[in-house]
């Protein structure tokens, strides 16, 4: 075993149940990271794209609305990495909210929103991570896996049905796991000289290697990236959907994590992570510009309607947070009559802003297709 990244502990030696678990070395790595020219160049690019994302975020009208959509996109893609089979349209369709896989993504959204709010009261720590995990698994697949509690039994990573002795990777035993978690929590506030983006790459790797929960480790570990960058004020809103790049490069993502454990290749992992930051920040930046342009274009079209523009603008604001809608639900939410909203919908359909997607006369559905097309990218 490469001692730089950790070592194995043997359990039940000489018995039929014998197995080995991996205990990661504390952060930062020793010997220290080699910050070569390639890594420094990637770090500069990642910092530049995050700064550009921050600048465009401050210019977007109704930014909280757009952020809520970014959060949903990150939630969806992080869940898709773990095998959740649903689409962006599924999680935005009010008729599908009770489907289990949709509920999983909605729980991720709730977990993100909870954690960000909770960080106003307590710092990022193991307690906050456990509380967030409880929300993530509440009432969905994994709810029998002790939500909100660090595991007290051995887990392992492998295909479905693969026994412990044939596992691809076995995280630390619960006793060593708690020590590793406490060391990781301390490292969150360690004042070493490493750049914040390099530190969060190491923190994410370490969390996934410790694997402290029976379920939900990947999603919580990716959420930890956003929370740490927010706490360190590298970003001020959760507009970065890092799972965009991690999902596109899922095989390399898992391989790079394993190569740190088996060969101590921290440098190659950090470079991969910085490339993921660059790709995700660039995509989010470009999506922000496209969403802003679309909003301005459609508002200018509506302004030419004359008197009906007042209700139409209200409806436009509504569909930016509910891009799949019915007339009845919109009327109820806006406190307006069915006929008033029906007229406004007709105007938006005529302007090619809304598209009717079902022919059910009693419950016709409409979607804000151009808006959804921007958000669907990568999902």
Among the candidates 221, 254, 287, a domain finishes at 287
Residue the block writes with tokens 């274009």: 297
| pLDDT, position 72 | 80
Model confidence, pTM: 0.90
> What's the maximum distance between 2 C-alpha atoms anywhere in the chain?
84
Within-domain flag for 294: no
Within-domain flag for 211: yes
Query: Do residues 136 and 147 make contact, with C-beta atoms less than 8 angstroms apart?
Result: yes
| pLDDT, position 359 | 75
Same domain, 237 and 345: no
Query: Do residues 57 and 284 make contact, with C-beta atoms less than 8 angstroms apart?
Result: no
Same domain, 168 and 281: yes
Q: What is the pLDDT of residues 125-145, one digit of tens each?
A: 999 999 999 999 987 765 566
Structure tokens at 255: 């391989």
> How many Å apart are CA 47 and CA 49, to the nearest integer?
6
Same domain, 223 and 346: no
> How many Å apart are CA 204 and CA 202, to the nearest integer?
6
CATH number at residue 73: 1.10.3290.10
Residue the block writes with tokens 């949709």: 102
Q: What is the pLDDT of residues 199-229, one digit of tens each?
A: 999 999 999 999 999 999 999 999 999 999 9
Distances (CA, A) of 136 to 110, 150, 177, 343, 368: 7, 14, 21, 40, 29
> How many Å apart are CA 218 and CA 203, to the nearest integer?
13
Intervals of the chain under pLDDT 50? 1
CATH number at residue 349: 1.10.10.10
151 lies in which domain range?
6-287
CA 45-47-50 angle, to 5 degrees, is 110
| pLDDT, position 63 | 61
For helices 217-231 and 196-210, angle between their N-to-C axes, nearest 10 degrees:
160
270-307 residues labelled b (16+ CB within 10 A) or e (exposed): bbbbbbbbbbbbbbbbebbebbbebbeebeebbeebee
Among the candidates 287, 313, 329, a domain finishes at 287
Within-domain flag for 64: yes
| pLDDT, position 241 | 84
Same domain, 210 and 329: no
> How many Å apart are CA 12 and CA 140, to the nearest integer?
35
CA 58-64-68 angle, to 5 degrees, is 125
Within-domain flag for 292: no
């Amino acid at each position: 075993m490469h001692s730089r990244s950790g070592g194995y502990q043997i359990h039940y030696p000489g018995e039929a149940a014998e197995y080995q678990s991996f205990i990661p070395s504390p952060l930062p790595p020793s010997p220290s990271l080699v910050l070569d020219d390639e890594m420094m160049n990637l770090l500069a690019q990642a910092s530049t794209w995050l700064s550009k994302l921050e600048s465009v975020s401050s210019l977007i009208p109704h930014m909280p609305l757009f952020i809520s959509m970014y959060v949903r996109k990150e939630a969806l893609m992080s869940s898709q990495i773990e095998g959740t089979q649903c689409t962006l349209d599924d999680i935005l369709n009010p008729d599908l909210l009770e489907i289990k896989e949709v509920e999983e993504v909605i729980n991720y959204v709730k977990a993100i929103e909870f954690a960000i709010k909770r960080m106003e009261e307590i710092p990022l720590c193991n307690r906050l991570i456990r509380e967030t995990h409880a929300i993530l698994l509440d009432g969905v697949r994994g709810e029998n896996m002790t939500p909100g509690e660090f595991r007290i039994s051995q887990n392992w990573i492998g295909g479905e049905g693969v026994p412990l002795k044939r596992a691809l990777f076995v995280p630390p035993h619960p006793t060593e796991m708690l020590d590793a978690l406490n060391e990781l929590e301390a490292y969150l506030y360690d004042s070493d000289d490493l750049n914040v983006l390099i530190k969060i790459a190491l923190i994410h790797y370490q969390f996934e290697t410790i694997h402290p929960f029976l379920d939900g480790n990947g999603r919580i570990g990716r959420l930890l990236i956003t929370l740490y960058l927010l706490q360190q004020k590298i970003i001020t809103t959760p507009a970065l959907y890092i799972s965009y790049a991690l999902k596109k490069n899922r095989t390399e993502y898992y391989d790079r994590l394993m190569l740190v454990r088996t060969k101590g290749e921290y440098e190659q992992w950090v470079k991969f992570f910085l490339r993921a930051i660059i790709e995700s920040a660039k995509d989010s930046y470009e999506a922000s510009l496209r969403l802003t342009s679309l909003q301005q274009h459609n508002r200018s079209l509506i302004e030419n309607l004359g008197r009906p523009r007042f209700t139409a603008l209200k409806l436009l604001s509504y569909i930016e947070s509910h891009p799949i809608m019915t007339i009845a639900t919109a009327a109820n939410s806006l406190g307006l009559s069915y006929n008033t909203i029906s007229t406004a919908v007709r105007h938006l359909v005529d302007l090619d802003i809304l598209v009717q997607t079902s022919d059910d006369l009693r419950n016709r559905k409409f979607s804000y297709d151009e808006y959804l097309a921007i958000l669907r990218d990568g999902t």
